[in-house]
């Protein structure tokens, strides 16, 4: 894998001392026939090498849109990035010409999708789809590309890689397919990997295998990992930091242990309380009442106030709460964070 780096065309302005990935005040809207859906309303994220950042939230909170914006694969139209910046090692990806932007994908930032069966092209062998990366980005011959594809399948521990390289996606099991997906994302040795619900479509035992494979590969490569999920259980094991999103905003950001011990935002707290736990067997599970807001009509003030038990009149008034510093490296977007955090811890 050492020859790869030398071949990469260096991005102009790439500054190895700058932060690996920094998203600032990102705004995305979808212009649809029924109105403008404000999917992302000022998201800030950052990521360092070797670090795992989990982005947590319900469906429709903007997790996947954030990921697609970072990758630059937002469907446009209807999706438009209306503000903010995404800097990779100091280079603002949003101002890059399309040709350079394209080279960032797979070479520097790669992505794994949720459902590997539909995310892989059904009519090409996995060998073709893996080798394609080397042929397009490295100008390799078909033969060399195939050899690399076999190496990749070996890397993600697919048995009999030499034979299976000619198989089609539908001939693999769910877990094996997700391994192919991982191999594809890591083919060109990216520095940032975005995994969008990588284990949601898999059964629990396979989930654990895939997560440990991801963690292992991440450690080997000192890669920054953004893990998008709604599964708090997965997060606890692998994440270093958590960003909780609601209605297109990060409402709380904290190191993983802190957030489990003492959530500082009512939404985070409600999420934690909605996890079924063995020690609370037989009791009524606390679920979050109501639904996430319609993104074409996000409530004024704090978007969570209609569902929040702490809400008071200040929460309904614009502007929405700013980020409060809870502790070093910890923020929450709630007027009453002291009360939320001061309450009984959600998880003992």
Partner 1 sequence: MLDSQRTWEMFRYFVRRVLQGVLTFFGATFIVYALMFANQTDPLQTLAGERPLPENVRQALTERYHLDDPFIVQYGHYMRGLLTGDFGISLTNRSIKEMMEQAWPVTVRLALLAIVIAVLISVTSGIISGIRRGGPFDTVTLIITLILLALPIVVLAPLAQLFFGVQLKWFPATAGADPGVYQLLLPAAVLATLVMATEIRVTRASVAENLRSDYVRTARAKGLSKRRVIGVHVLRNSLIPVITLIGLDLGNLMAGAIVTEGVFNIPGVGFNLFRGIRTEDGPLVVGFVSILVIVFIVVNLVVDLLYAVLDPRIRYE
**In terms of CB distance, is 64 or 331 closer to partner 1?**
64
Helix (H, G, I), strand (E, B) or coil at 157: coil
Question: Distance between CA 155 and CA 256 in Å, rounded?
Answer: 29
Closest CA to 320 of 293, 280, 282: 293
In this structure, the number of other CB atoms found within 10 A of the CB of residue 22 comes to: 18
**In terms of CB distance, is 187 or 308 closer to partner 1?**
187
**In terms of CB distance, is 118 or 222 closer to partner 1?**
118
**In terms of CB distance, is 73 or 300 closer to partner 1?**
73
Pairing of strands 91-92, 79-88: antiparallel
Which residues are at the interface with partner 1 (CB under 8 A)?
A: 68, 71, 73, 102-107, 110-111, 113, 115, 118-125, 132-133, 136-137, 163, 166-168, 170-171, 184
Residue partners of 330: CB distance under 8 A and separation at least 6: 253, 254, 255, 258, 264
For 109, list phi and psi in degrees, rounded to 5: -125, 125
Min separation Cβ 99 and partner 1, Å: 8
**In terms of CB distance, is 30 or 113 closer to partner 1?**
113
**In terms of CB distance, is 89 or 269 closer to partner 1?**
89
Min separation Cβ 105 and partner 1, Å: 4
In this structure, the number of other CB atoms found within 10 A of the CB of residue 339 comes to: 12
Min separation Cβ 120 and partner 1, Å: 6
User: CA–CA distance from 98 to each of 70, 107, 325 (Å)?
Assistant: 14, 15, 37
Closest CA to 266 of 325, 322, 235, 306: 306
Question: Distance between CA 192 and CA 189 in Å, rounded?
Answer: 9
**In terms of CB distance, is 217 or 303 closer to partner 1?**
217
Pairing of strands 109-112, 192-196: parallel
**In terms of CB distance, is 96 or 254 closer to partner 1?**
96
Burial class from Cβ neighbours inside 10 Å (0-12, 13-18, 19+) for residue 36 reads: middle
Min separation Cβ 122 and partner 1, Å: 6
Q: Write the DSSP string, 99-112.
A: HHHHHHHHHTEEEE
């Amino acid at each position: 894998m050492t020859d790869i780096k030398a071949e990469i065309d260096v991005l102009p302005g790439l500054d190895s001392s700058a932060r690996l990935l920094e998203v600032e005040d990102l705004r995305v809207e979808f212009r649809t026939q029924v109105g403008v859906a404000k999917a992302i309303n000022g998201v800030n994220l950052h990521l360092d090498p070797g670090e795992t950042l989990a982005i947590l939230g319900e469906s429709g909170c903007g997790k996947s849109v954030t990921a697609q914006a970072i990758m630059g694969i937002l469907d446009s139209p209807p999706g438009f990035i209306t503000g903010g910046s995404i800097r990779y090692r100091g280079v603002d990806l949003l101002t890059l010409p399309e040709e350079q932007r394209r080279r960032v994908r797979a070479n520097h930032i790669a992505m794994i999708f949720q459902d590997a069966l539909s995310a892989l092209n059904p009519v090409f062998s996995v060998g073709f789809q893996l080798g394609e990366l080397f042929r397009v980005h490295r100008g390799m011959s078909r033969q060399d590309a195939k050899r690399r594809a076999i190496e990749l399948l070996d890397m993600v521990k697919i048995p009999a890689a030499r034979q299976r390289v000619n198989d089609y996606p539908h001939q693999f099991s769910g877990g094996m397919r997700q391994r192919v997906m991982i191999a594809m994302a890591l083919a060109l040795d990216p520095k940032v990997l975005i995994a969008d619900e990588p284990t949601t479509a898999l059964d629990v035992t396979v989930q654990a295998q895939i997560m440990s494979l991801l963690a292992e590969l991440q450690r080997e490569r000192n890669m920054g990992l953004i893990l998008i999920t709604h599964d708090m259980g997965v997060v606890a094991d692998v994440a270093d930091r958590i960003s909780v999103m609601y209605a297109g905003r990060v409402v709380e950001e904290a190191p993983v242990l802190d957030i489990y011990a003492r959530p500082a935002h009512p939404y985070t707290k409600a999420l934690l309380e909605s996890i079924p736990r063995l020690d609370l067997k037989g009791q009524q599970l606390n679920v979050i009442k109501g639904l996430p807001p319609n993104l074409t009509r996000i409530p004024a003030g704090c978007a969570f106030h209609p569902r929040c038990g702490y809400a008071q009149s200040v929460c309904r008034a614009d502007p929405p709460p700013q980020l409060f510093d809870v502790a070093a490296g910890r923020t929450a977007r709630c007027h009453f964070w002291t009360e939320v955090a001061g309450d009984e811890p959600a998880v003992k």
